[in-house]
């Protein structure tokens, strides 16, 4: 029987505990979860793609989770890793409209299904953008990111900026 492979994609700039929660829960449901760290050359990131890949790897210690960078269409990446499902986390109703539309398009283009996991309520308001805003203003983000991510943010912001 073929392995059940899911892809969980995002920019993960930086990865939050909400991301990690979805990855961990997905890893309990599938034989393998491939975390696809997106790289769009037209976008500006806090951390480059190799750093973001390393931060996700350092934050998730499950043998059935693989982390890899990707560019281009997610469906092409998913087909290359033989995934049958795209895994997505939903924080709020506002997330659903875009994710629903994308899920329908992916299914239409190649038959790839999308599975939505509801975000753990303790992480419902946490986003990478929020973490960056708090960190840039000297706030404590330790409750929102893993230890390796916290250290990377501290290094990026300098010792006096948290």
Give catalytic residue positions.
19, 43, 91, 128
Biggest alpha carbon–alpha carbon distance for the chain: 54
C-alpha–C-alpha distance, residues 74 and 88, integer Å: 12
C-alpha–C-alpha distance, residues 25 and 21, integer Å: 6
Using DSSP bridges, classify how beta strands 32-38 and 85-90 pair: parallel, antiparallel or unpaired. Answer: unpaired
Tell me the two tokens of residue 161: 């900026």
Contact 142, 131 (CB under 8 A): no
C-alpha–C-alpha distance, residues 92 and 145, integer Å: 20
């Amino acid at each position: 029987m073929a392995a059940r492979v899911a892809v969980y994609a995002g920019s993960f700039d930086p990865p939050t505990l909400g991301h990690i929660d979805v990855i961990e829960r997905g890893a309990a449901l599938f034989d393998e979860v491939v975390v696809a760290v997106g790289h769009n050359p037209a976008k500006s990131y806090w951390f480059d793609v190799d750093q973001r890949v390393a931060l996700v790897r350092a934050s998730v210690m499950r043998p059935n989770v693989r982390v890899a960078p990707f560019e281009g269409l997610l469906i092409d990446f998913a087909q290359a890793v033989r995934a049958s499902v795209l895994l997505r986390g939903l924080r709020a109703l506002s997330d659903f409209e875009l994710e629903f539309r994308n899920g329908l398009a992916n299914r239409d283009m190649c038959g790839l299904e999308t599975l939505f996991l509801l975000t753990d309520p303790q992480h419902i308001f946490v986003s990478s953008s929020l973490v960056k805003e708090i960190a840039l203003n000297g706030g404590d983000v330790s409750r929102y990111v893993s230890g390796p991510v916290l250290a990377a943010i501290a290094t990026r912001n300098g010792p006096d900026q948290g």
